[in-house]
């Protein structure tokens, strides 16, 4: 499906990608990974045609449609729903022409094509995608300009997914999502019927979505089968082999050098020594894993404080006169490791700001230890760093009165030693800026770290280093993150922020994921009265008895729809690769296959209409 051949890219006089080559499998789900600054986004832009490579070629089947999210978030007066529908440009053009054309023959062609591209199901499909990404029915029909940049980027992602390109390019799509939306996206991508190239630093996301890992390091590409965990095992084996080969080569080098030193001066052995000298010159150094000091995270430990650090008693918090969270009853102790869960917009950041004393309670009580110091990390701090100043200047301004050694010592904890401490912030990568922000907020050894999405610009290796540093840190931690691996490895207490309050969630991250996927009621988990399942089953049985014929009709239509869906996939496969087509389809021409596909699509539309009619009638009976 996608072949990359000798891709070379130079930026600012530096070679970012160096004769990189890879052949990606058809309909593969490829996870593109590499350290920050390795060139992943650059390579994606080359594939998307947004950046011209200095050498090499990108080859795809003729007529392939490519999808990539632009950096600018969509805006204007259109709604998210209208924006997503418009992303299918062919459907939009055909719908417009169907309303303006008066040629009966052309109208017939238009409607046949609309059936072929499944245009009738587009509105419901657009609504499902937007709902999965967190837009309720009301939000789907608000103007785009009423949303923040992060939510508008979700609309851009929804539009891209709706357009169903043959090659889907996703560059860290989860950065603007909460955990619930990430879980939905993961499920969506697992069944995506075309090729995906996905840049992500989330271990669980990669493990659950991709079937190959494309590793970009040193300007070169290497393709590994499987998910991220399998890649790590294979890479570890390869590194062990390289280490063994390097040790053997070093021994050989030392042996040659010793022979040359002993025999160069002797006339009888001078020729042999010259021969060994040539052999030594031909020995090519073997690459090895670089021990990167920029992975350094080392949080200074605070002195001990008596518990509790913070107590909330029926507290209420919000903005102005509008409460966001109420009935807050939480206790935070010095050894707590808390993850705040819940959809974006439910109040996780509001609760974090209350704990950081950036917001005062509107009602109720909040007590905090007078000696407690808090380090609060947000993405806004990363964005507000002065691009013209160096890490050393930033730290010196905040650590007033500290010795130069103490200032450099704090920077060194986070990998900013030597020349790196004197590099302008504008020249640092996103991950380096995040590390600098963490260094700045922990300069006085806080007793409580509050981290709001700390991993957005960190690669997989840097995230692992951050996890290790948090586990070594002796203070309390409150973390908001959509990275499941990060939460699993650092949090031992979960708090669900939902329905205008926050309560302890009784279970693990896996339990919470199951809870989200099963669409259970958050209030049931939070201790509110649960639905009587016995009565629920009785009511359901009565509804089934009343609507028996309707249920059978719905089941029949659903079975027919499933059968036709499989048939459509078989026809699509025959059109895509005739060599693997079933015998009955292999004999057909492309025109005949297209006609056959249109017939199946129409049958699917009829079956879906029958299913919807039966289901709606059944729901009315059940109500």
- State whether CATH 3.40.50.720 applies to domain 326-525: no
DSSP 475: S
SS3 sequence, 518-538? CCCCHHHHCCCCCCCHHHHHH
Phi (first) and psi of residue 39, to 5 degrees: 115, 20
Q: Which residues contact 74 (CB under 8 A, 6 or more apart)?
A: 83, 144, 152, 155, 156, 159
Reported residue count of the chain is: 623
Q: Which residues contact 36 (CB under 8 A, 6 or more apart)?
A: 429, 430, 431, 432, 457, 458, 459, 462
Q: Give dist(CA 408, CA 420) in Å, integer.
A: 11
Q: Which two tokens mark 167?
A: 């090659």
| Coil/strand/helix, residue 327 | strand
Q: Is 223:212 a contact under the CB 8 Å cutoff?
A: yes
Query: 429: closest CA among 71, 36, 82?
Result: 36
d(CA 190, CA 28): 11
**Could you tell me the CA-to-CA distances from 202 to 245, 299, 486, 487 in Å, in that order?**
32, 23, 9, 12
Burial 324-333 (b: 16+ CB within 10 A, else e): bbbebebebe
Q: How far apart are CA 326 and CA 314, in angstroms?
A: 7
Distance CA 584, CA 291 (A): 58
30 near 44, Cβ under 8 Å?
A: no
Q: Packing angle between helix 149-163 and helix 179-190, nearest 10 degrees?
A: 10
Contact 89, 162 (CB under 8 A): no
At 380 the pLDDT is 87
Q: Which residue numbers in the chain have pLDDT < 70?
A: 1, 70-71, 242, 245, 249, 252, 267-273, 275-276, 278-280, 282-294, 519-551, 554, 576-577, 611-612, 614-623
487: helix, strand or coil: helix
Q: Please state, in angstroms and rounded to a whole number, the distance separating the CA atoms of residues 197 and 199.
A: 7
Nearest CA to 150 out of 172, 121, 183, 126 is that of 172
Sign of CA dihedral 140, 141, 145, 146: negative
- Answer whether 245's CB lies under 8 Å from 263's CB: no
Q: What is the rounded distance in angstroms from the CA atom of residue 33 to the CA atom of residue 182?
A: 18
DSSP label at 302? P
Would you tell me how many other CB atoms lie within 10 Å of the CB of residue 491? 22
Shortest CA distance to 375 belongs to which of 442, 309, 434?
A: 442
Q: Please give the C-alpha separations between residue 209 and each of 150, 212, 233, 607, in angstroms, as whole numbers.
A: 23, 9, 18, 31
CATH class as words, domain 1-65+168-226: alpha beta
């Amino acid at each position: 499906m996608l072949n990359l051949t000798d891709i070379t890219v130079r930026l600012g006089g530096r070679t970012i990608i160096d004769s990189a080559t890879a052949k990606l499998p058809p309909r593969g789900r490829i996870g593109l990974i590499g350290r920050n600054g390795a060139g992943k986004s650059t390579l994606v832009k080359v594939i998307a045609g947004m950046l011209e490579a200095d050498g090499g070629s990108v080859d795809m089947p003729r007529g392939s449609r490519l999808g990539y999210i632009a950096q600018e978030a969509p805006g204007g007066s259109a709604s998210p729903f209208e924006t997503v529908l418009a992303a299918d440009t062919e459907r939009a053009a055909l719908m417009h022409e169907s309303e303006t054309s008066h040629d009966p023959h052309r109208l017939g062609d238009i409607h046949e094509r609309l059936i072929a591209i499944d245009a009738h199901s587009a509105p419901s499909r657009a609504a499902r995608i937007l709902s999965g990404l967190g837009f309720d029915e009301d939000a789907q029909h608000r103007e785009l300009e009423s949303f923040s940049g992060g939510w508008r980027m979700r609309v851009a992602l929804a539009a891209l997914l709706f357009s169903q390109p043959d090659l889907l390019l996703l560059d860290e799509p989860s950065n603007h999502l909460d955990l619930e939306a990430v879980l939905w996206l993961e499920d969506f991508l697992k069944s995506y019927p075309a090729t995906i190239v996905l840049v992500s630093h989330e271990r669980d996301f990669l493990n659950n979505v991709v079937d190959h890992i494309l590793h970009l390091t040193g300007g070169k590409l290497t393709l590994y089968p499987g998910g991220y965990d399998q890649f790590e095992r294979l890479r570890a084996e390869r590194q062990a082999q390289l280490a063994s080969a390097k040790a053997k080569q070093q021994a050989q080098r030392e042996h040659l050098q010793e022979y040359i030193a002993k025999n160069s001066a002797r006339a009888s052995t001078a020729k042999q020594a010259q021969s060994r000298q040539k052999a030594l010159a031909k020995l090519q150094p073997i690459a090895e894993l670089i021990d990167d000091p920029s992975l350094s995270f080392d949080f200074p430990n605070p002195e001990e404080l008596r518990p509790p650090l913070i107590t909330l008693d029926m507290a209420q918090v919000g903005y102005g006169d509008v409460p966001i969270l109420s009935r807050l009853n939480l206790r935070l102790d010095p050894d707590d490791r808390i993850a705040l869960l819940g959809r974006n917009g439910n109040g996780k950041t509001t609760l974090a700001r209350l704990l950081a004393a950036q917001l005062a309670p509107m009602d109720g009580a909040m007590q905090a230890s007078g000696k407690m110091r808090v380090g609060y990390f947000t993405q806004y701090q990363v964005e507000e760093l002065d691009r013209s100043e160096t890490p050393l200047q930033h730290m010196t301004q905040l650590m007033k009165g500290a010795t130069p050694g103490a200032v450099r010592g704090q920077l060194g904890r986070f990998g900013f030693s030597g020349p790196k401490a004197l590099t302008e912030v504008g020249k640092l990568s996103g991950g380096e800026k995040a590390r600098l922000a963490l260094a700045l907020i922990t300069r006085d050894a806080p007793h409580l770290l509050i981290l709001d999405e700390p991993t957005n610009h960190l690669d997989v290796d840097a995230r692992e280093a951050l996890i290790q540093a948090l586990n070594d840190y002796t203070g309390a931690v409150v973390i908001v993150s959509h990275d499941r691996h990060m939460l699993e490895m650092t949090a031992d207490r979960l708090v669900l922020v939902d329905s205008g309050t926050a309560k302890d969630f009784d279970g693990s991250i896996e339990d919470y994921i199951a809870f989200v996927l099963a669409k259970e009621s958050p209030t049931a988990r939070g201790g509110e009265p649960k639905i009587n399942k016995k009565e629920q089953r009785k009511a359901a049985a009565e509804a089934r008895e009343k609507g028996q014929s309707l249920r059978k009709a719905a089941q029949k239509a659903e079975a027919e729809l499933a059968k036709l869906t499989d048939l459509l996939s078989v026809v699509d496969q025959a059109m895509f690769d005739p060599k693997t087509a079933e015998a009955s389809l292999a004999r057909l021409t492309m025109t005949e296959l297209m006609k056959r596909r249109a017939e199946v699509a129409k049958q699917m539309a009829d079956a879906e209409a029958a299913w919807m009619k039966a289901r709606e009638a059944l729901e009315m009976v059940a109500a």
